[in-house]
């Protein structure tokens, strides 16, 4: 079995909110040049790209994949044209449904028509498509390549909680990826690793490789859905360590799209726009594609208007629903002087286009500014901008204007940095040596009740007559703690209460507070559970449980004291 870090092939799936893709590299190529990564070229109409839109079409049975990415858009458009689409399931931009929500195995998603399907089905079918697609290409390059030769890496935002990460792992396993052949990579870390390997440019401004050991930089991973931010310090041996916990929010490029669609509703009519979307899906998709191109290509140095092609079907729907031409609607909307109609094109003043970005840019810049004022971030010398949204000149300009004292690094392929970096991470998972805990983790214990110290509400009389204080938060790791990768941060010994016990259940809690007193405190949540196996009989049995928090996922090892046997325990975060 090929071990992680020694696999013949490392294959990465970059599952994004707006765009997804896959890439891979062979071990011998990685050893010569870590940045030599092969990626698929996706095609849709006249568009070609190294990532495809994150959308999936599932057959009416709710179980079978019909198409993914551009093919899903095209096929769904065809079904819509013939009014046959309502029995099918079409999902787009669904990744952020896992952000800040209570996730379970039975969590459902709503498709474009409001029909529900298990989220696990939608995610696993998407991953399966990319896995199978990648395998076809890699196997054609190397005869005799076996599934056992490939180690898989799946990207997730660093700001996601443990249940969302476990959900993605479960979806990958249902897609046919063996658990021991799968690693989760945190997106800003992957991008950071990739950019550390890029060669120095002539001006020396677009490479991280100029930063020596001890230097710090902020990674701004701006994607379609999430803004994922972390701060790294360069270590010896070209390794990296995290110096501030990952943070961010849902302020990505889709917020700009939402503002644009809201604007269209104002200058046309919301009912007309909905009817246009329902009846002319192909034209609706083309409108979004055109806006995506304009969004990325906006040049703030040019004073001219921005032109966006408007489908004739949209213009017709405005007339049919409102009884007014689009030109008349524009004049009565209050935007008459800033927006003009010329045939099938609307021309926007630059200020209107900028307004779509306003909310997103403000939140990003303010958050970065707040981070840089923190003690742990003192001495940061550069900001690395990666992710598809980072290719936008408006975002780059906002960051440069607000932080003129810092070096702003935008790699040539910022939108591919996460995907390519995930491949590098798969080959070298120990390149990130230390992380910072996002939460305070603990378990619930009880102790002898002390009058005047413990609240009466926590007083409980056990069967043996002993009065105990319950729900005490026993801290394992504190928020902000430095976590060395591969090193156990906590070790506890457990003994059974009853002679006949075959297992002990340990519940895990998390909170943003540094020093919680009870597991019932405000902000404290039950997030997971471990079942610790017990061999033999009697209450004298002892089991040592080690919890390792430094990886991209929390892992637990259990050692029976009597036999020395060590078992890796799964944590159920989807309770």
pLDDT in tens, 40-58: 999 877 677 899 999 999 9
Q: What is the pLDDT of residues 291-347, one digit of tens each?
A: 988 887 887 677 788 999 999 999 999 999 999 999 999 888 888 889 999 889 999
Q: Is 51 helix (H, G, I), strand (E, B) or coil?
A: coil
Which residues in the chain land under pLDDT 70? 1-5, 46, 200-207, 300
pLDDT value, residue 48: 78
CB 171 within 8 A of CB 31: no
In the chain, how long is the greatest CA-to-CA distance?
A: 86
Alpha carbons 283 and 462: distance in angstroms, whole number: 68
Closest by CA to 388, choosing from 51, 160, 157, is 51
Beta strands in 50-96 (DSSP E): 52-53, 55-58, 65-68, 89-92
Its pTM stands at: 0.92
Cβ neighbors of 287 (< 8 A, separation 6 or more) are 308, 309, 310, 311, 314
Place of tokens 């065809």: 78
Q: How many helices (H) and strands (E) does the chain have?
A: 13, 32
The predicted structure's pLDDT at residue 4: 52
pLDDT number for residue 114: 92
Q: What is the pLDDT of residue 3?
A: 44
Contact yes or no for 252/271 (Cβ under 8 A): no
Give residue 2's pLDDT.
40
pLDDT at site 300: 67
Domains of the chain and any CATH numbers: 9-198 (3.30.420.40), 253-354 (no CATH), 437-569 (2.60.34)
Ramachandran quadrant class, 317 (left: phi over 0; alpha: psi -120 to 50; beta: rest):
alpha
pLDDT at res. 203: 54
The set of residues, in sequence order, having a beta carbon less than 8 Å from that of 214 and lying 6+ positions away, is: 233, 234
pLDDT at site 200: 61
Do the bridges between strand 216-222 and strand 227-234 make them parallel or antiparallel, or are there none, so unpaired?
A: antiparallel
Q: In the 8-state DSSP scheme, what is residue 305?
A: P
- Cβ-based burial of 251 (10 A; exposed 0-12, middle 13-18, buried ≥19): buried
Locate tokens 């039975």: which residue? Answer: 106
Whole-number pLDDT of residue 74: 92
Contact 16, 157 (CB under 8 A): no
CA 392 – CA 92 distance, rounded (Å):
22
DSSP notation for 510-555: EES-SS-SBTTSTT-EEEEEEEEE--SSSS---EEEEEE-SSSS-E
């Amino acid at each position: 079995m090929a071990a992680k870090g020694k696999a013949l092939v490392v294959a990465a799936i970059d599952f994004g909110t707006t765009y997804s893709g896959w890439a891979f590299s062979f071990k011998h190529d990685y050893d010569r040049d870590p940045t030599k990564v092969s990626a698929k070229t996706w095609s849709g109409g006249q568009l070609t790209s190294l990532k495809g839109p994150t959308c999936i079409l599932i057959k009416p049975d709710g179980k079978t994949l019909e198409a993914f990415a551009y093919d899903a858009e095209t096929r769904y458009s065809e079904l819509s044209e013939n009014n046959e689409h309502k029995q099918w399931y079409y999902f787009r931009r669904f990744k952020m449904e896992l952000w800040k929500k209570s996730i379970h195995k039975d969590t459902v998603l709503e498709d474009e028509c409001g029909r529900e399907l298990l989220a696990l089905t939608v995610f696993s079918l998407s991953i399966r498509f990319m896995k199978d697609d990648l395998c076809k290409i890699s196997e054609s390059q190397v005869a005799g390549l076996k599934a056992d030769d490939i180690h898989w890496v799946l990207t997730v935002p660093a700001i996601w909680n443990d249940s969302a990460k476990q959900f993605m792992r479960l979806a990958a396993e249902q897609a046919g990826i063996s658990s021991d052949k799968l690693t989760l990579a945190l997106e800003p870390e992957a991008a950071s690793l990739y950019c550390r390997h890029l060669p120095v440019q002539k001006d020396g401004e677009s490479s991280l490789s100029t930063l020596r050991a001890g230097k710090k930089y902020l990674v701004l991973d701006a994607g379609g859905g999430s803004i994922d931010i972390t701060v790294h310090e360069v270590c010896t041996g070209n390794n990296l360590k995290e110096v501030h916990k990952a943070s961010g929010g849902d302020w990505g490029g889709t917020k700009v799209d939402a503002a644009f669609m809201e604007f269209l509703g104002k200058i046309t009519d919301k009912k007309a726009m909905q009817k246009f979307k329902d009846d002319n899906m192909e034209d609706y998709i083309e409108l979004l594609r055109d806006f995506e191109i304009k969004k990325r290509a906006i040049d703030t140095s040019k004073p001219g208007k921005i032109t966006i092609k408007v489908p004739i079907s949209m213009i017709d729907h405005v007339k049919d629903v409102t009884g007014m031409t689009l030109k008349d609607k524009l004049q009565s909307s209050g935007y008459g002087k800033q927006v003009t109609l010329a045939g099938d094109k609307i021309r926007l003043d630059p200020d209107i286009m900028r307004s779509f970005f306003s909310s997103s840019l403000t939140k990003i810049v303010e958050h970065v500014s707040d981070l840089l004022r923190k003690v742990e971030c003192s001495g940061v010398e550069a900001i690395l901008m990666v992710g598809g949204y980072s290719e936008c000149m408006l975002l780059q300009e906002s960051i440069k204007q607000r932080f003129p004292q810092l070096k702003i690094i935008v790699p040539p392929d910022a939108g591919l940095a996460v995907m390519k970096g995930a491949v590098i991470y798969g080959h070298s998972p120990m390149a990130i040596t230390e992380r910072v805990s996002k939460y305070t983790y603990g378990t619930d214990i009880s102790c002898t009740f002390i009058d005047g110290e413990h609240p009466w509400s926590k007083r409980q009389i056990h069967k043996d007559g002993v009065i105990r204080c319950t729900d005490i938060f026993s801290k394992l790791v504190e928020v902000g703690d430095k976590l060395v990768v591969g090193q156990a941060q906590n070790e506890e010994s457990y003994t059974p209460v009853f002679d006949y016990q075959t297992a002990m259940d340990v519940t895990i809690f998390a909170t943003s507070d540094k020093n919680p007193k009870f597991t019932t405190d405000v902000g404290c949540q039950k997030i997971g559970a471990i079942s610790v196996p017990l061999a033999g009989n009697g209450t004298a049995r002892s089991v040592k449980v080690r919890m390792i928090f430094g990886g991209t996922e929390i892992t637990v090892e259990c050692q029976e004291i009597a036999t020395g046997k060590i078992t890796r325990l799964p944590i159920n975060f989807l309770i």
